[in-house]
Structure 1
């Protein structure tokens, strides 16, 4: 059983997939498996996967019903003690990232590990740093995270969140904020949650929730109502609006 299962979800992402795979190939550790779930791409995605096939533990390419069904496929295939999603376009922060994570797992064996994420944008095929998520968004990253901290939205970038597979539930498949729901459920199930003092990932801005922003906000509201109740969520959304306005003014 590998310690970590790294899972990449991709669909028609030939522009971005190779950088993700290369960031994983560059790691200095072997105690992990790498799974790629493709949604039946029609571009050059499969050619890229086959080019790196010796570095991929297993992969599949078939139509699915969307991002979160594909992520569930990855979860069900994973055999590692921990699961870590690094989707097409995202990257492990540098070649020492996995070594640092494995060292920490060996030392403390927490149920969930998390860190900050470096936001990047794509400019002509090259990634340009934008800044740490905790600095370029209103989401302050607590160093003693609990599930209640998610009442004002997603505190931790999904690619900087590594839970034990044994506490990781399936994703909702009909909600664009399913990653928020998933993190909350993982945190509720966790006994030990540990902040990592190093960056885990480079997160490519402009994903599905950005492309469908209005629906994503509505779905986030539904998730927060599920976990915190209607009245609390309404009150918190007033705080979210005030916080966003102050942040934008700065």
Structure 2
């Protein structure tokens, strides 16, 4: 079995109630060719002491003030060495202990090396209990134009080759990951749908808590990539379809 190196990145800030499940999930992965990077924003609670308890499982741990989530992610990207980048933030976890093994097994049977590997996402509550599958399902075929319909693939279930990855645009405070994924897909020559549930995603994340501001940013991002007229027409069509569904 070929063994690509996965850079798994966790960003934390005052996450004492959720971060341990993420650390355990990474530690329990049966596939071990991973580089685990944790960037903490100088947490004021017990987060750092919890991270230090798992120090042997973390390749690089940085705890210092930052300018927010995406600034911390950029710090990690600047030091990541893996062939594939995977973000797994505090409270999120791999769906099962063999998730990476299953991905690598599938990749090993391909006659190409996909630029983006992706799958499905389950939503969980603060206790890690399953709530439901994500409303938007991952498409069988994924291109940069797919995101005209919204973020069809959860950021955490989107594994991109490091060579295609750029830093996050810090002008966006809540939806820079949406912009980031589109930019990667514009460069990608190939994508691969695993048909697996890859991630258990903590439902009360930053974007969920700032839903309206996130939607406004996404509109700006879609206008930038797809054009303002196309974006307006899509949203008008969405509103009309929603009315007739009622």
Question: TM-score range, shorter-chain basis?
Answer: over 0.9
Equivalences for residues 1-250 of structure 1 within 5 A: 3-108=5-110, 109-122=113-126, 126-133=127-134, 137=135, 139-175=136-172, 176-242=174-240
Instruction: For residue 246 of structure 1, report the CA deviation from its aligned partner.
Output: 6.7
1:162 is paired with a residue whose SS is strand
Counterpart contact for 1:3–1:80, Cα < 8 Å: yes
2:197 is paired with a residue whose SS is coil
RMSD across aligned positions (CA): 1.6
- Distance in 2 between residues matched to 1:84 and 1:246, nearest whole Å: 39
Instruction: For residue 196 of structure 1, report the CA deviation from its aligned partner.
Output: 0.5
Q: TM-score, normalised by structure 2?
A: 0.93
Instruction: For residue 140 of structure 1, report the CA deviation from its aligned partner.
Output: 3.8
Task: Show structure 1 runs of 4+ deviating over 4 A.
Answer: 242-247
Worse overlay, 139-148 or 8-17:
139-148
1:13 is paired with a residue whose SS is coil
Q: Deviations over 1:86-111 (max 9, x none)?
A: 00000001010011122233333211
Q: TM-score, normalised by structure 1?
A: 0.92
Shift of the 90–145 alpha-carbon distance from structure 1 to 2, 3 Å rule, reads same
* Gapped regions of structure 1 (runs ≥ 5): none
Counterpart contact for 2:120–2:137, Cα < 8 Å: no
Instruction: For residue 153 of structure 1, report the CA deviation from its aligned partner.
Output: 1.2
How many residue pairs align between the two structures? 241
Counterpart contact for 2:70–2:176, Cα < 8 Å: yes
Instruction: For residue 187 of structure 1, report the CA deviation from its aligned partner.
Output: 0.8
1:89 is paired with a residue whose SS is coil
Shift of the 151–47 alpha-carbon distance from structure 1 to 2, 3 Å rule, reads same
* Gapped regions of structure 2 (runs ≥ 5): none
Q: Deviations over 1:210-234 (max 9, x none)?
A: 2222211110011000100000000
Q: Deviations over 1:188-211 (max 9, x none)?
A: 111110001211100000111122
Counterpart contact for 1:152–1:240, Cα < 8 Å: no
Counterpart contact for 1:2–1:33, Cα < 8 Å: no
